[in-house]
Amino acid sequence: MKFNEIATVSGKPGLYKILKPTRSGVILESMDEKKGKLVVGANQRVSVLSEISMYTMTEEGASPLEDIMIKIETEFKGDIGLDSTADADELQAFLKHVLPDYDEDKVYPSDIKKLVSWYKIIRAHAPEVLEKQPEENEG
């Protein structure tokens, strides 16, 4: 599985594996023990993880979620020492450690909570996604 095969649905907790498109939307499978299937129509907001970034103070202005999660995995190997119920100060200190130049005005504690919970879901159900991919040479 890859980052572009994992989605989040606005208003629903957790992450979903993208199974296949339909005429009016997409079929998703929850990334948990239940593996529940869900058909999401065009009227619901589905975000593919490979298209999500966090605001930074860098020239680019954002850092891809995939890069941040791979960095967390490389550094912590799953033992991040906090969960999504941590208080705002703990969450911000964690992100500051992982992404020192994140934009504190635009990245809210709720965003960091999602990052932590999504990381844990991916680590449990699709750990291969967190392995640093070798750079593909353009040929």
More confident residue, 86 or 105: 105
CATH topology of domain 3-49: SH3 type barrels. (2.30.30)
pLDDT for residue 128 is more than 80: yes
More confident residue, 102 or 21: 102
pLDDT for residue 137 is more than 50: no
pLDDT for residue 42 is more than 90: no
CATH topology of domain 52-129: Arc Repressor Mutant, subunit A (1.10.10)
The confidence score (pLDDT) of residue 134 equals 58
Q: Nearest 10 degrees: CA dihedral of 83, 86, 88, 89?
A: -100
pLDDT for residue 52 is more than 80: yes
Q: What is the pLDDT of residues 55-77, one digit of tens each?
A: 999 999 999 999 999 999 998 88
Share of the chain above pLDDT 90, in %: 56
Buried b or exposed e, range 32-49, using 16+ CB within 10 angstroms = eeeeeeeebeeeeebeeb
As annotated, the residues of the chain forming the CATH 1.10.10.1650 domain(s) are 52-129
Q: What is the pLDDT of residues 76-91, one digit of tens each?
A: 888 888 876 889 899 9
Whether the CB-CB separation of 103 and 56 falls below 8 Å is answered with yes
